[in-house]
Amino acid sequence: MDLVEWNSPILIVITETRMNGASALEMIETLPFDGAKVTDTIGFAGGIWLLWRTDSVQVDVLATTEQEIHAIIRVRSQTLSWIISAIYASPRFAERCMLWENLKLISNLHDLPWALMGDFNEVISEGGKFGGNPTCQRRVRAILDCINEYQMMDLGFSGPKFTWTNKRELGGLIQCRLDRCWANPSWKAYFLKASVTHLARVNSDHCLLLLNLYPNLVANSNKPFRFQPMWLSHKDFPAIVRDSWEGREEDLPGAVTRFTQKAQTWNKEVFGNIFVRKRQIMARLLGTQKALANNPNNFLINLQDQLFEEYNVILQIEEEL
């Protein structure tokens, strides 16, 4: 919810959801997206959700399997159509090979700009892994043969270089880059400045990827005034209302303006610090995980665990409020 609020995505891909049916729909309804396509899990594993805002994009789903959702994206303010493929590659190599073959088939059926994003469950270079067994070259060749056949380009990234960790202590720590965004030349030619950012990992073993098609566009941060129900539970709130109305019983617009100003200031001082602290912790987590990817040590692992604890405490306070 925080990441959606901070980054305002128009479309979101969630992989390895481990839920479907009524449970999935109930969870999706809590998010600000009114378009959705869900693939079934494999037992209690897997699952892909593709969610979007219908006021901004039209999405036509072309095909789905347990490992992929393919859809045509039409941005309502543009004439361009392009294909997105949301990927959750199976942990089992034989099933991943089926996915690679499916992608080859898809590539032969269209000539549109095309982007793939998600969890490919494969390391494709020695620098893409820390700890554990050496990279299997047979598996690397299988995915690279697929990617190279339709001339896909890795869009790169900023942020921590690893997107997954087994969360172990230093002696057993494994970190990998498993999550990626790929695009064909025509997609890259249209979105020349598109960028990928690895966001801080919190409770998941994966970090999230943010694909920004127009990095220079900044959302308007001026938000309308909102009355917050959580104010009613605070002992100081009645005084804010009383002070705003005192002496202005005959001046409704003036009382409303005064209340709005006082409430916004009071909210920032009393409640705003919680949200600032949350953003600060996310920033510290991102910095810690960058350092952990480059120089794993016990101090950084312990610091990361401490920041996780602080983050969850803030979530609990937020829920109480």
Q: Report pLDDT digits (tens) over 102-139.
A: 998 888 888 899 999 999 999 998 889 999 999 889 99
- What pLDDT is stored for residue 271 in this prediction? 64
Torsion sign (Cα): 245, 247, 251, 254: negative
pLDDT at 228: 76
- Residue in the structure block whose two tokens are 């969870």: 27
User: What is the reported pLDDT for 119?
Assistant: 94
End-to-end alpha carbon distance in the chain: 16
Contact 81, 110 (CB under 8 A): no
Would you say 80 and 113 are in contact if contact means Cβ atoms under 8 Å apart?
yes
Which of the 8 DSSP states describes residue 205? S
* Confidence band for 210, pLDDT divided at 50, 70 and 90: very high
Q: List the beta strands (DSSP E) in the chain.
A: 11-15, 35-38, 48-52, 57-65, 68-75, 81-88, 114-119, 129-130, 153-154, 164-165, 175-176, 179-183, 195-198, 209-212
CA distance 246 to 119: 59
pLDDT of residue 193: 87
The number of residues in the chain equals 321
The answer to whether the beta carbons of residues 88 and 67 sit under 8 Å apart is yes
Q: Residue 311 burial (CB < 10 Å; 0-12/13-18/19+)?
A: buried
State both tokens at 203. Answer: 């409770």
Is there a contact between 208 and 117 (Cβ–Cβ < 8 Å)?
Answer: no
Cα gap 257→224, rounded to integer Å: 13
Tell me the sheet residues that pair with 63: 70
Model pLDDT, residue 72? 95
SS3 (DSSP) at 90: coil
pLDDT digits (tens, 9 = 90+) for 15-60: 888 887 788 888 888 888 999 998 877 666 778 999 999 998 999 9
**Which residues neighbour 192 within 8 Å (Cβ) at sequence distance 6 or greater?**
none
What is the mean predicted confidence (pLDDT) over 247-256? 81
Considering the entire predicted model, what is its pTM?
0.73
Question: Is residue 117 a contact partner of residue 44, using CB atoms and an 8 Å limit?
Answer: no
Q: Which long-range contacts (CB under 8 A, 24 or more apart) does 132-141 make?
A: 132/174, 132/176, 139/93, 139/96
Q: Alpha-carbon distance 95 to 63, whole Å? A: 17
- Sorted by where each begins, the domain ranges of the chain are 2-212, 229-270, 273-320
Of 127, 128, 186, 188, nearest to 154 by C-alpha is: 188
Chain position carrying tokens 């920004």? 212
- CATH annotation of 2-212: 3.60.10.10
Q: How far apart are CA 77 and CA 24, in angstroms?
A: 30
Nearest-angstrom CA–CA distance, 38 and 258? 47
Place of tokens 């299997």: 136
Confidence band of 222 (pLDDT split at 50, 70, 90) = low
